[in-house]
Amino acid sequence: MNEKTDIKYLFEPRGVAVIGASENPEKIGYRIVENIVNSGYPGGIYPINPKGGEVLGHRIYRDLSEVEGEVDLAVIAIPAKFVLDAVKECGENGVKHLVIITSGFSEVGKRAEERALVETARKYGMRILGPNIFGIYSAKASLDATFGPGGILPGHVAIITQSGALGIAMIGKTAAESLGLSALVSVGNKSDIDESDLLEYLADDENTTVILLYIEGVKGGERLLSILRRITRAKHVIVIKSGRSKRGAAAAASHTGSLAGADEVFDAVMRQVGVLRAESVQEAFDWARFLADSPLPKRKDAVIITNGGGIGVLATDACEKYGVSLYDDQEALKKAFSSVMPEFGSTKNPVDLTGQATAEDYEKAMDLALKNDQIGSAISLYCETALFDTEAFSQLLSETYARYRKEKPIVFSLFGGERIERAITKLRKSGIPVFPDVYDAVSCLGALYRSWEYARSPEETIEEVKIDYPAIEGALATARAAGRTFLLAHEAEQVAAALGIPTPQAIVAPDLDAAVAAAERIGYPVVMKVVSKDIIHKSDAGGVALDLENQDEVIDAYQAIMRSCRAYNPKAVIQGVEVAEMVRPGVETIIGARQDPSFGPVVMFGLGGIYVEVMKDVSFRAAPLGKRTAHSMIGEIRSYPLLLGVRGEKRKDIDAIADVAIRLGALVHRMRDITDIEINPLVVYDHGEGVKAVDVRILLKGSPGGE
């Protein structure tokens, strides 16, 4: 059997063998058997150890071949040097999946040894999870095949983690936070099964409503994105990623490359596919717990109910930060809440019941908010006062939550002394979303709204754009034939023309007479640039002259360019000059596309000059792009208002920029040989007047700094 076995039996095995099972409670092989037994796994449990014996009431088999029952899963916990033989033995005995706990493979440079495991497993149609992992937990099978502390609560959150140590610690943490899990999987070295394979299974697992990913690095990001894009329509997906480093960025040869830091691209593409990125493990846990229990909102617009003005304002700030819109119909608010309000209270949102509010006032206000169809969700805040008992308030809070928890999203934040702290701990234990910090409460609500909005947004269709690919292949072939991994300016302009991106009219002139004739044909003013494969940075070589108004200036410029370029690089072969139309001024932007090492084709956009150089004000999206995505990428830069027109200026041609972004995205998605294409500047004119690509640079696979 050579085809890959369905991953279902990894999560729902009918029998589990533990190779390296030990009678010694200190050993990992013992702990795994113990967890399998304690988790109540109903299938066959087959400890394997050549010494034989018994562990926790289960016979230890000397050899897998002695086992008569079906073994879908084998957990391997023996020293690295014995693992390959064990893999073979599993294959010969019909095992479907291997969970290889053992460390000491590719993570310590033993790549060949790890490859051998995968190749052997493939021969038998087995799939490998690991090596170098702490195991797998599956609620569906009541199976804890990890060497963690045990006590995992079953629930609806699936965790996939690249970090073993953090994953083990998460077991204790989830239990302490009463967070129920549907699955917990450690992926370790990802020799075979990776996040994408696991997500394929979890996508169809009705038990899982929230997926939490802890990621350190991404391989095969394009597949991951396409699976995530689909899953996030039905489930909430949270990601925590460590390593916000700028690895690799410095070596990149283009702006797009140097700005496309691994983390910026990760952040952008996760948002693009509806994944919620948490800043910390705690935030991820808070979100996971809240999202697993909360109903989806039916509408936007939250209401804040508080007994303290200050905390209400903090909540308002938090709503702005996390994108939670507030219900704002003043008349309706007044009508709804005036019955529970003292004269000096406020029926605006935040609804401020004031410090003299009683538990009954709170209850009434919450009822009003939660029954009102115009209000999407509620944020209930409480500052400890002498006027009513924290115990009584906790009781009321539990009852209100129980009444409405399936109807509307609700979060609570309580602030005060020891009694409040105790109340919070108790309420959280019983699964109520109560937070000491109002920002944490609103952050959960924000995550819910973001996930909900993504899921209900219509799926984007990516329209085919007309691009003359044969012409582009021709330009690339010319460069390749000349032994180059970059395109000369006029070749890059041919590519732009084939893409349907407007460029300034230009003519390559081999000598002075031809340059003059070209200038006459194009019409003044013109610009002139040296054409030489040996001179890439033309301005540095004195190879560029701008704003040439007449024939005399063209002659002078030609001679000056030749002189400077020969002095700059005496060996350079100069093919002539390019004479081009002088582009009229507009807003200078930069737009590029490249092959990202993790996620494949991505597009970048920003304004030129200081916006890109100093402020790094750029945005990214994974390609190919539809219109909506292109517009959201453009709208995401901080300097976007400049494109909308400031101080009486007209709105710029944003549709034309989006069109260029779509075309560049389609190109790098289809032609993987192009590692970088960058237009800098892309000059943008007023709405309806289009854009012009002034300088186009293209790098091919194999170029220094390219991927």
Write the binding mask 645 to 684 for ligand ACO: x where contact by CB under 6 A, - elsewhere.
----------------------------------------
* CB nearer to ligand ACO: pick between 60 and 467: 60
Among 8, 27, 480, 687, binds ligand ACO (CB under 6 A): 27
- The helix or strand, by DSSP H or E, that contains position 603, with its residue range, turns out to be strand 600-607
| CA gap 187, 55 in Å, rounded | 27
31 versus 229: smaller Cβ distance to ligand ACO: 31
Q: Tell which one of 9, 11, 16, 20 touches ligand ACO (CB under 6 A).
A: 20
Among 133, 253, 302, 472, binds ligand ACO (CB under 6 A): 133
From the list 10, 32, 36, 48, which residue makes contact with ligand ACO (rule: CB under 6 A)? 48
Count the site residues for ligand ACO by CB under 6 A.
29
CB atoms within 10 A of CB 344: 8
Looking at this protein, which amino acid is placed at residue 605?
F
Residues numbered 327 to 366 that lie near ligand ACO (CB under 6 A) are: none
CB of 435 to ligand ACO, least distance (A): 30
Q: Name residue 602's beta-bridge partners.
A: 594, 622
Contact, 507 vs 490, CB < 8 A?
no
Q: Which is nearer to ligand ACO, 45 or 302 (CB)?
A: 45
Binding region for ligand ACO (CB under 6 A) out of 73-81, 254-262, 287-295, 639-647: 73-81
* Site membership for ligand ACO, residue 469 (CB under 6 A): no
Q: Based on the shown chain and the rule CB under 6 A, indicate whether residue 19 belongs to the binding site for ligand ACO.
A: yes
Q: Can you give 322-370 as a three-state secondary structure string? A: CCCCECCCHHHHHHHHHHHCCCCCECCCCEECCCCCCHHHHHHHHHHHH
Q: C-alpha angle with apex 34: 30 to 38, nearest 5 degrees?
A: 175
Closer of 132 and 598 to ligand ACO (Cβ): 132
For the chain, how far is it from start to end, CA to CA, in angstroms? 37
**Measured between alpha carbons, how far is 484 from 474 in angstroms, rounded to an integer?**
14
Q: How far is the CB of 145 from ligand ACO (least distance, A)?
A: 13
The dihedral through the CA atoms of 45, 51, 54, 55 has a sign that is negative
Among 35, 132, 146, 232, which residue sits at the site for ligand ACO (rule: CB under 6 A)?
A: 132
CA distances, 526 to each of 54, 501, 577, 666, 690 (Å) = 89, 20, 12, 32, 20
47 counts as binding ligand ACO under rule CB under 6 A: no
Establish if 396 lies at the interface with ligand ACO (CB under 6 A). Answer: no
Site string for ligand ACO, 98-117 (x = CB under 6 A): ---xxxx-------------
Q: Which of 10, 139, 168, 381 binds ligand ACO (CB under 6 A)?
A: 168
Using an 8 Å Cβ cutoff, are 591 and 681 in contact? Answer: no
Amino acid at residue number 490: H
164 part of the interface to ligand ACO, by CB under 6 A? yes
Asked if residue 383 lies in contact with residue 412, where contact means CB atoms within 8 angstroms, the answer is: no
Cα 695–chain centre separation? 31
If one asks whether residue 24 binds ligand ACO (CB under 6 A), the answer comes out as yes
Residue 32 as a binder of ligand ACO (CB under 6 A): the answer is: no
Binding site for ligand ACO (CB under 6 A): 19-20, 22-24, 27-29, 48-51, 77-80, 82, 86, 101-104, 132-134, 164-165, 168, 186
